Amino acid sequence: MSVDELVEGVLAGKRRSLARLLSLIEDEDVRAPKALSQLYRHTGRAHIVGVTGPPGSGKSTLVTQITKELRRRKKTVGIICVDPSSPFSGGALLGDRIRMQEHALDDDVYVRSMGTRGHLGGLARSTAEAVRAVDAFGKDVILVETVGAGQSEVEIIELAHTVVVTDVPGSGDDIQAIKAGIMEIADIFVVNKSDLEGAERKGAEINAMLETDIREKPWRPPVLLTNARTGEGVAELVDKISEHISCLRDSGLLEERGLQRSRDELEQMMEYKLTHQLLTELRGRPEYNEAIVRIAKRNEDPYTVAEKLVMDFLLKYREDAG
Amino acid sequence: MDDLERLRKGEKRWTESTLGKALRTHPERIEEFKTISGVPLKRFYTPTDVSSLEYESDLGFPGEFPYTRGVQPTMYRGRLWTMRQYSGFATAKETNERFRFLLEQGQTGLSVAFDLPTQIGYDSDNELARGEVGKVGVAIDTLSDMEVLFHSIPLDKVSTSMTINAPASVLLAMYIAVAEKQGVPMNKLRGTIQNDILKEFVARGTYIFPPAPSMRLITDIFAFCGEHLPLFNTISISGYHIREAGSTAIQEVAFTIANGIAYVEAAMKAGLDVDAFAPRLSFFFGSHSDFFEEVAKFRAARRLWARIMKGHFGAKEERSLMMRFHTQTAGCTLTAQQPDNNVVRVTLQALQAVLGGTQSLHTNSRDEALSLPTRDSVQIALRTQQIIAHESGVADTIDPLAGSYFIESLTNEIETGALKYIKEIDSMGGSPNAIERGYIQREIHESAYEFQRDVDRKRRIVVGVNEFIADETQTFDYLKVDPKSEEEQISRLMKVRDTRNEQDVEEALDLLRAASEGSENLMPAILAAVKVYATLGEICGVLRSVFGEYKAPDIL
Amino acid sequence: MVTLAIESLYISTRGSPVSNPKRGGSLNSTKKIRVLVAKPGLDGHDRGAKVVARALRDAGMEVIYTGLRQTPEMIVRAAIDESVDCIGLSILSGAHMALFPKVMELLKKEDADDILVVGGGIIPEDDVPGLKKTGIAEIFGPGTPLESIIEYIQSHVRT
């Protein structure tokens, strides 16, 4: 399938084309960035919602329930579930679909499972680009479920407009989300499994924690109780999710963040491009390797050498351009 | 004590001299010997290995606490175990013929296998039933099918075991209704319903409703039967499927008993007195291929259950303490390769079950790794039991392996290992919580994977599979379920729907809905509904709409 | 000299190339075989399916497991959405002659019959030729070593 066909298919809403594109993205195929570059102007419309939280906090079930509620509200939904890849084999068992069976045949729901393929931070390296593809595909809301391995999963704030952090009533008084270091990234807190003992208390504890933050903010994260098994509290959660994006929009934060994200992305790309270009040139040259040897022997220092190499490169660029 | 000390010294001397010399010239086959469940094995066992064993408190006498030696005072000298072959396929009519054949061959109890749509509460014409009708058992949609299934079989004479779980109440109600038509009152009915939903969540997969309403259906059956069917076993708490899913022997005992504890707790919480229902609890285990481990497993399970019922739940009735169990030889040990070899496997496994003191036994047929068994294969399987019972002499002495240093040591080890698991599960808030967290499923899966790896690496030999392989073209005569039986069954169902009184059905289903929304015992409403020929799918449909459906956790 | 070819920007959003100079390492990138392990029909015996799923994972594949009670429609939809290279069907209830061909039929209809489909479970020898005729590539009966399944998939998926 050519890039043009792929792009056409995605824009025409063909699942097969989107699925193929997602594989190219994951496999880091050269066709992927070409397609994404053509699709870029069709993106930016979806509301991206991250769902994160410690293992066993019912993320998949909650994602399913959120989807159900969104479908009731006639929204189309894309779901990306990230599971850890094995550090030993590089393989992965992706089991999140098990819980999502009730949407299995809904044409307006697209579910995709991703392995982290060695990336840390709760997402796969290509999750952001996968989300971009699903955005171009035209889904109204894209739910991104992170690994939830208890590691610090902060990457999701770079990607999502709204981050939902789930937790469950624990055995002790500690808040698991804090232990996992994901407290600060929440736009909405959910204490799931509200039928378990201690749910109210856990909610109160999180609220108390939030009280200690006295900074002036347009959005104060609400704390909701849900039971993802029965769907209790999910409608309120979906209300809060839409309120959050409205608040971002009204306060100008959405635009601000959009600019910030575009800047970050552009700068990262430039940084990569420049470094890549520079290194490609230098690595072939014997004097580069000699310089490294001199640095290692303490005959030269890396500060001076780096400065000189970069300046030479830029000067040469200027001459070329001149 | 002095004797033991002397023995230890003797063993040390033997190890250094006699054994040492032998090992230098004749090393052992493998470095480490383990049971199939991974319990390390010593070369041989002596009184030092059972020095903590107190005869009276740990073994006791047959028919007495802690029942290590068996639940009846005379065991098989009084009555042989019930030879009960699980069977059922295609339509009720064909299964009825197989039942009557088995009874003529000297089988002493019936065991009904239902097809999957029946087990999951779908009528045969449901879209999800496509291709499954009559495949792994008989299809039952309405009371009319049940009438055909037990045609000419006097229900006051046979005991019937039904492998039915999520919709157990419905099938039990149909059984009661058929008996009533034969003129047999409820209180004469003997048999067992499996009714064990927890192991469905863990291992067997034919669940319908979420845990809480499932437990309610079960305790409703306990209460109803306690009052009306005093001879009926209300549940068969099953380790068999846990083992088939890949657990070890210790896990089989542990998870089964942990589930048993959960049922007892649920029933007591529902207000039942422990001695009112505990005497009708029964169990079901597999008989796998490690001979001594299996014998020890049965003995350990019996002792542990008795201790828990007495010590933890304070049961007073003797029958509340007795673990009575059915055994099936392990289906997962059957090989598709050289299927006749399975006859030998089954013989050994059946022998283990008898030496372990089972109350009833199913012996698998040689062809079951390939399909449902043919009549000839079933006959060999039944004959296997009859040969053990009548020719081998093993049934004439009670618990004949007791006192073996090895068997007693292994019995202790399995009891201790299982108790450790049970405590762990208890600390998670009991087995329903441990299942919800996926703990039990993960433990089983780990063992299953380990086992398969051992076979693949030839650390375990499976004859005909990874060693002693023969070139063979299979010329087996399979039992094939005629694809037409699905159509036949569907047209039978249509006919019943056409001829019954619709208004009666609607009324009965409305009453059932009201009952399930409340908290009363559901059995009477279900019984009323089956009697007016409401279908299994309709009844379960009402319950589904009130209770919701269970969704498995994503455990891998 | 400085050409901004789009493909070279590809890693862009995945962090600095300096901290991540080695791309294409076995863990981090490049093509992985994706397999859907599915249980069509109503039987709940998933020991085999799960053991195989685990073994494929340990062989470096990405395995999507969908759980019990899958209709052919659900299986095909998942296979397409997940863009898998292989579907492994496991069935022990005897319903394979009804359900396996249905999966193949739907794959053809969706123009996705380039996906490798293999089956396993309790499947009598007599049924195998009929199943292969519908496009099932291979049937793995009881006793098949995990290694054979892994090797088969590795050497038969389209690349």
Q: Residue A95 and residue B437: Cβ atoms within 8 Å?
A: no
Bridge partners for B83 per DSSP: B361
Q: What is the pLDDT along chain B (556 residues), one digit of tens a residue?
A: 588 999 999 999 999 999 999 999 999 999 999 999 889 999 999 999 999 999 999 999 999 999 999 999 999 999 999 998 888 778 899 999 989 998 998 887 899 999 999 999 999 999 999 999 998 899 999 999 999 999 999 999 999 999 999 999 999 999 999 999 999 999 999 999 999 999 999 999 999 999 999 999 999 999 999 999 999 999 999 999 999 999 999 999 999 999 999 999 999 999 999 999 999 999 999 999 999 999 999 999 999 999 999 999 999 999 999 999 999 999 999 999 999 999 999 999 999 999 999 999 999 999 988 877 888 999 999 999 999 999 999 999 999 999 999 999 999 999 999 999 999 999 999 999 899 888 999 999 999 999 999 999 999 999 999 999 988 776 666 677 787 889 999 999 999 999 999 999 999 999 999 999 999 999 999 999 999 999 999 999 999 999 999 987 766 6
Q: Residue B128 and residue C68: Cβ atoms within 8 Å?
A: no
Whole-number percent of chain C with pLDDT over 70:
81
Q: How far is B553 from chain A (nearest CA, A)?
A: 7
Reported confidence tier of residue C16, pLDDT bands at 50, 70, 90: very low
Q: What is the pLDDT of residue B249?
A: 98
| CATH architecture under which domain B55-456 falls | Alpha-Beta Barrel (3.20)
Q: What is the pLDDT of residue C117?
A: 98
Which alpha helices (DSSP H) does B166-210 contain, by range?
A: 168-182, 197-199
User: Could you read off the pLDDT of A164-184 as tens digits, one per residue?
Assistant: 998 888 644 456 556 556 677
Q: How far is A80 from chain C (nearest CA, A)?
A: 11
- Distance between CA atoms of B339 and C125, rounded to whole angstroms? 13
Name the pairing type of β-strands B82-83 and A141-145. unpaired
Which residues in chain C have their CB less than 8 angstroms from residue B476's CB?
124-125
Q: How far is B303 from chain C (nearest CA, A)?
A: 30
Question: Among partner residues C28, C34, C81, which is closest to A111 by beta-carbon distance?
Answer: C81
Closest to B238 in 3D by CA, of B326, B333, B332, B115: B326
Q: Residue A60 and residue B210: Cβ atoms within 8 Å?
A: no
Say whether both A107 and A197 belong to one domain: yes
For residue B247, give the chain C residue with the closest CA: C47
Question: Among partner residues A60, A93, A229, which is closest to B556 by beta-carbon distance?
Answer: A93
**Residue linked to tokens 């999701």:** A156
Say whether both A283 and A203 belong to one domain: no
Question: Among partner residues A20, A33, A91, which is closest to C58 by beta-carbon distance?
Answer: A91
Q: Does C11 touch chain B (CB under 8 A)?
A: no
Q: How far is B555 from chain A (nearest CA, A)?
A: 7
Which residues in chain A have their CB less than 8 angstroms from residue B554's CB?
60, 95-96, 98-99
Q: Does A23 touch chain C (CB under 8 A)?
A: yes
Q: Residue B551 and residue A60: Cβ atoms within 8 Å?
A: no
Which residues in chain A have their CB less than 8 angstroms from residue C54's CB?
93
Give the domain extent around A31. 1-42
- Distance between CA atoms of A83 and B474, rounded to whole angstroms? 43
Closest to B259 in 3D by CA, of B240, B233, B286: B240
For residue A276, give the chain C residue with the closest CA: C17
pLDDT higher than 60, residue A285: yes
Q: Does A13 touch chain C (CB under 8 A)?
A: no
| CATH architecture under which domain C31-156 falls | 3-Layer(aba) Sandwich (3.40)
Say whether both A190 and A56 belong to one domain: yes
Contact B258, B430 (CB under 8 A): yes
Task: Report domain extents, chain B.
Answer: 55-456, 494-547
User: Could you read off the pLDDT of A118-137 as tens digits, one per residue?
Assistant: 888 889 989 999 999 999 99
Instruction: Name the region of B456 (left: φ>0; alpha: ψ -120 to 50; beta: rest).
Output: alpha
Say whether both A57 and A204 belong to one domain: yes
State the best of B449, B459, B473 to mutate against chain C, taking most chain C CBs within 10 Å: B449
Q: Residue C93 and residue B136: Cβ atoms within 8 Å?
A: yes
Residues 6+ apart with CB under 8 A from C26: A90, C60
Q: What is the pLDDT of residue B193?
A: 97
Q: What is the pLDDT of residue A251?
A: 93
In chain B, DSSP finds a helix count (H) and a strand count (E) of 22, 10
Say whether both A158 and A307 belong to one domain: no
Which residues in chain B have their CB less than 8 angstroms from residue A60's CB?
554
Q: Does A92 touch chain B (CB under 8 A)?
A: no
Point out the least confidently predicted range of B67-76, B478-487, C46-55, C72-81: B478-487
pLDDT higher than 80, residue C139: yes
- Tell me if residue C121 falls in helix, strand or coil: strand
In C32-154 the beta strands, taken as DSSP E runs, fall at 34-38, 62-65, 86-91, 116-121, 138-140
Most confident of A35-49, A142-156, A221-235: A35-49
Closest to B57 in 3D by CA, of B306, B293, B250, B295: B306
pLDDT higher than 50, residue C13: no
Residues 6+ apart with CB under 8 A from A305: A291, A294, A295
Report the number of distinct structural domains present in chain A. Answer: 3
pLDDT higher than 90, residue A209: no
User: If you average pLDDT over every residue of chain A, what do you get?
Assistant: 89
Q: Residue C7 and residue A87: Cβ atoms within 8 Å?
A: no
Which residues in chain B have their CB less than 8 angstroms from residue C94's CB?
135-136, 371-372, 481
Reported confidence tier of residue C21, pLDDT bands at 50, 70, 90: very low
Q: Does C128 touch chain B (CB under 8 A)?
A: no
| Last residue within a domain, chosen from A226, A250, A274 | A250
Say whether both A89 and A236 belong to one domain: yes
Which residues in chain B have their CB less than 8 angstroms from residue A93's CB?
556
Contact B282, B192 (CB under 8 A): yes
Closest to A281 in 3D by CA, of A316, A322, A319: A316
Q: Residue C83 and residue A89: Cβ atoms within 8 Å?
A: no
Chains within contact range of chain C (3+ C-beta pairs < 8 Å): A, B
Question: Among partner residues C2, C8, C24, which is closest to A317 by beta-carbon distance?
Answer: C2
The two structure tokens encoding residue B3: 């004797």
Question: Among partner residues C9, C60, C112, which is closest to A90 by beta-carbon distance?
Answer: C60
Say whether both A54 and A193 belong to one domain: yes
Q: Residue A89 and residue C18: Cβ atoms within 8 Å?
A: no
At residue A226's C-alpha, the angle toward residues A55 and B434, to 5°, is 45
State the best of C4, C20, C32 to mutate against chain A, taking most chain A CBs within 10 Å: C32
Q: What is the pLDDT of residue A176?
A: 59
B-to-C residue pairs, Cβ atoms closer than 8 angstroms = 107
Q: Does B127 touch chain A (CB under 8 A)?
A: no
Q: What is the pLDDT of residue A118?
A: 86
Task: Return residues 256-295 of A near B (CB < 8 Å).
Answer: none
Q: How far is C120 from chain A (nearest CA, A)?
A: 19
Give the ipTM: 0.87
Question: Among partner residues C50, C141, C145, which is closest to B456 by beta-carbon distance?
Answer: C145
